[in-house]
Chain A
Amino acid sequence: MTGDDLAFQPATALAGMIRDKQVSPVDLVQAYLSRIDRLDDGLRAYVTVCRDAALAAARAAESRRGRGAPLGRLGGVPFAVKDQFDTKGVTTTQGSKLYADRVPDETATVVARLEAEGAILLGKLNMTEFALGGTQDFPFGQPRNPWHRAHDPGGSSSGSGIATAAALAAFTLGEDTGGSVRSPAGFCGVVGIRPTWGRVSRHGVFPLSWSMDAPGPLGRTVADVAMVLAIMAGRDPRDPLTSDAPVADYPAAVGSEVGGLRIGMITELTAGPDTSSEVRGAIDTAAKLLGGLGARVDPVSIPTLPLAGAVFMALADSEGAGLHMDALRTRPLDFDRGTRRRLIAAGLLPTAITQEAARARVIIRTEVLRAFDRFDVLLSPTAPSTAASITAMRAPIESGEEAARRFFTRRSFTTPASLAGLPAISVPCGFSVAGLPIGLHLMGRVFDESTLFRVAHAYERATPWHQRRPAE
């Protein structure tokens, strides 16, 4: 197997190959470093590559293996994390010039948990500034979609989507407030999950919205994501909002059949006016396939969902504006102009209107939860269309209508789960004529990530999409 073939192996397979002494952890780290050297100038997935530390960790893993010491569930497997996660002694920028030189003295809980299971940190990944989305001039390089470099990779965990799809790491971490794991997963053709709010610690993760932030993994297979989430999840005394609820055995859900499950296909998101015919066709085909596997798929209407994007942005962006107000006053030009304008607009929203949005959130959440009286999983596209071109993303905004179309419409596909605090996964479900990936979005009940893994894996096993590789 060549280094490139090795790099594209699932993380779970790599862990087994290392345990069985079929692969050296040092060779594996070098395989990923070689791909980063060759491809990342064009893709800009990484902000920082921890070359020496990763090689040292790989040599230590090889030595442990030689002594017969336990390696951990992900022993020797290289991963990378969004630059929103604190890493002791490694620059953590939040994708912003304002934090370009910040070196934390502590590592985020979830990163530490993965390292404790033997995973090796390869580096820190590019992101839209402060996890907001809409960055115009990326201070650490323009991230590009590996399937078509003129296109956006999605955000805010842009580098996480790129590095996973282009095999610049075995798996990655992102943080999802309104879709920031699921959007890059969908646009880059990989798997990404937003866990139930409170399932995963946010300690050491730079905040955007306290009631919606949710760190989550991205991988090239559903089994990889299930394995990584199993390690990340659970109570953390340093994050008082993590739940005491027991963590399910996610890897055990992978491989279960879907017969008898009830799946609701959300009419407003699947067949609404904003959804492209290519995306709608791919989702219809996926729904039929799941029906053929024994699930019962029926349409469900949730009329308030098209409002979710605007409600989400009114709430999350206002929080963001509050968080950054001091720097907006004192160092406005150190913000990217897209971030600055987005935060200022939200900061000027009248409080009475954000209070109305907070009430609308409760109504949307109630409607979504009510749908789970009839269904186990809610199905829709991850986005209404494939990834936009970078040129289109950078075009000036000429009117309020255009701003609404550009910022609210797409977010209405991922933010219902965020507003409701529910888990949701994006899994590849096809490609457009232009060769850009399409994502299938599955939303589940509170703490029922297992059913999402069950459905996503059944779909993945029956389709070829996860086996494709982007051209170099």
Chain B
Amino acid sequence: MAEATGLALDTDDLVEVTHRLNAFLHALAAIRALPLATVEPVPLPPADA
């Protein structure tokens, strides 16, 4: 994936990037229990802001 994106990784980088990516994938799996389909992904704070 890194090569396809044009990024060079050495062995140490690869190990840690893999752990970090796995951490994201594991932690973000939990958000699928939320009603994600019921909301739009609008990044701005509320209109009264």
Please tell me if the beta carbons of A357 and B28 are within 8 angstroms of each other in the complex. Answer: yes
Contact mask A393-407 → B, CB, 8 Å, 1/0? 000111111111001
Q: Which residues of chain B are near A311, meaning CB under 8 Å?
A: 28, 31
Q: Which residues of chain A are near B49, meaning CB under 8 Å?
A: 196-198, 243, 421, 446-447
Please tell me if the beta carbons of A362 and B40 are within 8 angstroms of each other in the complex. Answer: yes
Contact mask A345-386 → B, CB, 8 Å, 1/0? 111110001011111111101100100000000000000000
Q: With the chains together, A349 CA to B31 CA distance in Å?
A: 15
Interface size on B, residues (CB 8 A): 39
Contact mask B19-39 → A, CB, 8 Å, 1/0? 111111111101110111101
Knowing A341-B20, A345-B21, A408-B23 touch, does A356 contact B31 (C-beta < 8 A)?
yes
Please tell me if the beta carbons of B48 and A446 are within 8 angstroms of each other in the complex. Answer: yes
Q: B8: which of A332, A361, A402 is its contact (CB, 8 Å)?
A: A332
CB distance from B17 to the nearest CB of A (A): 5
Interface centre among A340, A359, A396 (most CB of B within 10 A): A359
Interface membership of A390, Cβ < 8 A: no
Please tell me if the beta carbons of A359 and B8 are within 8 angstroms of each other in the complex. Answer: no
Q: A198: which of B27, B34, B39, B45 is its contact (CB, 8 Å)?
A: B45
Q: With the chains together, A398 CA to B19 CA distance in Å?
A: 7
Interface membership of A253, Cβ < 8 A: no
CB distance from A401 to the nearest CB of B (A): 7
Q: A401: which of B21, B23, B30 is its contact (CB, 8 Å)?
A: B23
Contact mask A418-448 → B, CB, 8 Å, 1/0? 0011100000000000000000000000110
CB distance from A422 to the nearest CB of B (A): 8
Among residues of B, the one whose C-beta sits closest to the C-beta of A309 is B27
Q: Which residues of chain A are near B31, meaning CB under 8 Å?
A: 307, 310-311, 356-357, 360
Interface membership of A9, Cβ < 8 A: no
Q: With the chains together, A56 CA to B41 CA distance in Å?
A: 51
Contact mask A318-346 → B, CB, 8 Å, 1/0? 00000001001100100001001110111
Q: With the chains together, A365 CA to B13 CA distance in Å?
A: 34
Among residues of B, the one whose C-beta sits closest to the C-beta of A345 is B20
Please tell me if the beta carbons of A404 and B23 are within 8 angstroms of each other in the complex. Answer: yes
Q: With the chains together, A355 CA to B13 CA distance in Å?
A: 26
Please tell me if the beta carbons of A340 and B13 are within 8 angstroms of each other in the complex. Answer: yes
Q: B23: which of A198, A315, A359, A407 is its contact (CB, 8 Å)?
A: A407
Q: With the chains together, A313 CA to B30 CA distance in Å?
A: 15
Among residues of B, the one whose C-beta sits closest to the C-beta of A362 is B39
Q: Which residues of chain A are near B5, meaning CB under 8 Å?
A: 325, 347-348
CB distance from B4 to the nearest CB of A (A): 9
Q: Which residues of chain A are near B12, meaning CB under 8 Å?
A: 337
Please tell me if the beta carbons of B27 and A397 are within 8 angstroms of each other in the complex. Answer: no
Please tell me if the beta carbons of B27 and A356 are within 8 angstroms of each other in the complex. Answer: no
Interface membership of A211, Cβ < 8 A: yes
Q: With the chains together, A341 CA to B41 CA distance in Å?
A: 27
Knowing A311-B28, A362-B39, A404-B23 touch, does A348 contact B46 (C-beta < 8 A)?
no
Chain A interface residues (CB < 8 Å from chain B): 196-198, 211, 243, 304, 307, 309-311, 313-315, 325, 328-329, 332, 337, 340-342, 344-349, 353, 355-363, 365-366, 369, 396-404, 407-408, 420-422, 446-447
Per CB-CB distance, the 4 closest pairs between chain A and chain B, nearest first, are A421-B45, A400-B22, A358-B41, A345-B20
19 A-B pairs with CB atoms under 8 Å apart are A211-B45, A328-B7, A332-B8, A337-B12, A341-B16, A341-B20, A345-B24, A353-B24, A357-B31, A359-B34, A359-B41, A360-B28, A360-B34, A398-B19, A402-B19, A404-B23, A408-B27, A422-B45, A447-B49
13 additional contacts, CB 8 Å, given A309-B27, A360-B36? A307-B27, A307-B30, A311-B28, A332-B7, A344-B17, A357-B31, A358-B43, A397-B16, A400-B19, A400-B20, A400-B26, A446-B46, A447-B49
